[in-house]
Amino acid sequence: MDKELNKTDPAVADINKSEEERQLETINLIASENYVSPAVREASSSVFTNKYSEGYPRKRYYPGNEYVDEVEELAQKRALEVFGIENSSWAVNVQPYSGSPANFAVYTALLSEQDIALGMKLASGGHLTHGHKVSDSGRYFNFIQYGITDDGIIDYGEVEKLAKEHKPKLIVVGTSAYSLKIDYEKFSNIAKNIGAFLMADMAHIAGLVAGGQHPSPFEHCDIVTTTTHKTLRGPRGAMIFSRGDELAVKVNKAVFPGLQGGPHNQQTAAIAVAMKEALAPEFKKYAEQIVKNAKVLARELKNKGYDIISGGTENHLFLVDVTNKGMSGGEAEKLLEQAGIIANRNTIPNDPRKPFDPSGIRIGTPAVTTRGMADVEMKKIADFIDRALKGEDIEGEVKKLALKFPTPGFE
């Protein structure tokens, strides 16, 4: 395939080659990124990309979909098995193009325009699609936002107070920059007391849930959404799990024909492959090492005088307030990238700075764990981060470490 790309479009081939080298030679600490296996990449570029398949298995609007049906049903079956909910009342839709449209599909399935919902503040570690005003989720629906306590913990008391006051039809629980475990039972009790639906967006922690490293939302929620490309180590896609036939029908109609046309069948095939990989015993060890690596890295940076939000981490990521080091998050991001360390700037709770150049950086360990790095390497990376932010030229050392742990397919 690379030979064909080189022959047909050398310009794109050269750019692709450069990206391969960048990924291979840098240390990736983006919490929402990972590396897929060669098998997932192969499925992502399979002949399924040639087929149009509006509808759902056995109910398509085009002929010639018998094998598309097979691979979609296989992806659904494996997804339910990954989270231990096979042979239950749960159903799963594997067609959403990505996480944001998956969340919006749920909202359109359950809410009318300007209906009230609760979601976590972006500045407290939530996600844009949980009702932020710059997102259509906040424009078309009336989201009330909850936050965290001074200790950096989700303010369950505030959630309960807002729920009783505003009587939302939906409560959304999920984060993109929160380092502690989520108590789904508390959210469930609050939702039940006011008769609201409870939706968990586990996009960031899905692989940890699958690997037994984070409490599962399925016992307590009505709807669960997730991307497939973060800790699950799959292609860029998403899934929506629904409890019971009634919700499943509403969600399916919201995805198609509500928001989407034909699914990306090559993406569905790749999800099926990723779900098989997540069912392997090795995946649980991988999930365990992700959390262990995050804890070690956070501890080492804390020992070097960095301010770790919430004091540490219980999952795959943590936030660092770098202002006590005399810089902004944007400045830290640039210094790290110059050294070959990729980590994004991020707001911290009650951040006095603007979002484009906030006070913190977000650090995650899924990608480096995929490459086989462990405790020893986390200590080295903490040292690299500290030295890079002091302005030392360590790009060569970073590259040398990265090359010792090749990305999948380059071993």
Q: Is the pLDDT of residue 410 over 90?
A: no
Mean pLDDT of the chain: 97
Show the tokens assigned to 258. 């509500």
What is the secondary structure of 52-82 as a DSSP string? ---EETTEESSS--HHHHHHHHHHHHHHHHH
pLDDT digits (tens, 9 = 90+) for 244-257: 999 999 999 999 99
Active site residue 54: yes
The backbone torsions φ and ψ at residue 304, rounded to the nearest 5 degrees and listed phi first, read -90, 5
Segments of 121-204 assigned E as strands? 142-146, 170-174, 197-201
Catalytic one of 33, 42, 54, 397: 54
pLDDT digits (tens, 9 = 90+) for 152-189: 999 999 999 999 999 999 999 999 999 999 999 999 99
- State which amino acid sits at residue 186: K
pLDDT band per the 50, 70, 90 thresholds, residue 202: very high
Catalytic one of 25, 42, 51, 52: 52
Show the tokens assigned to 219. 């016992």
Q: Order across the sheet with 142-146: list the strands.
A: 90-93, 238-243, 223-227, 197-201, 170-174, 116-120, 142-146
Segments of 72-196 assigned E as strands? 90-93, 116-120, 142-146, 170-174
Q: What is the pLDDT of residue 2?
A: 75
pLDDT above 90: percentage of residues in the chain? 97
Distance between CA atoms of residues 366 and 208, nearest Å = 10
Q: What is the pLDDT of residue 150?
A: 87
Catalytic one of 60, 121, 169, 230: 230
Catalytic one of 17, 41, 77, 236: 236
Active site residue 49: no
Q: What is the pLDDT of residue 1?
A: 53
Active site residue 236: yes
Catalytic one of 35, 72, 107, 201: 201
Residue 171's closest CA among 110, 237, 216, 114? 110
pLDDT band per the 50, 70, 90 thresholds, residue 3: confident
pLDDT digits (tens, 9 = 90+) for 331-388: 999 999 999 999 999 999 989 999 899 999 999 999 999 999 999 999 999 999 999 9
Q: What is the pLDDT of residue 355?
A: 87
Catalytic one of 26, 108, 225, 227: 227
Show the tokens assigned to 271. 């999800």
Q: Is the pLDDT of residue 132 over 80?
A: yes
Residue 109's closest CA among 261, 246, 264? 246
Active site residue 227: yes
Q: What is the pTM of this model?
A: 0.96
Mean pLDDT of 101-116: 96
- Alpha-carbon dihedral of residues 18, 36, 241, 286, nearest 10 degrees? -130
pLDDT digits (tens, 9 = 90+) for 256-303: 999 999 999 999 999 999 999 999 999 999 999 999 999 999 999 999
Distance between CA atoms of residues 271 and 402, nearest Å = 27
What is the secondary structure of 276-297 as a DSSP string? HHHTSHHHHHHHHHHHHHHHHH
Q: What is the pLDDT of residue 379?
A: 98
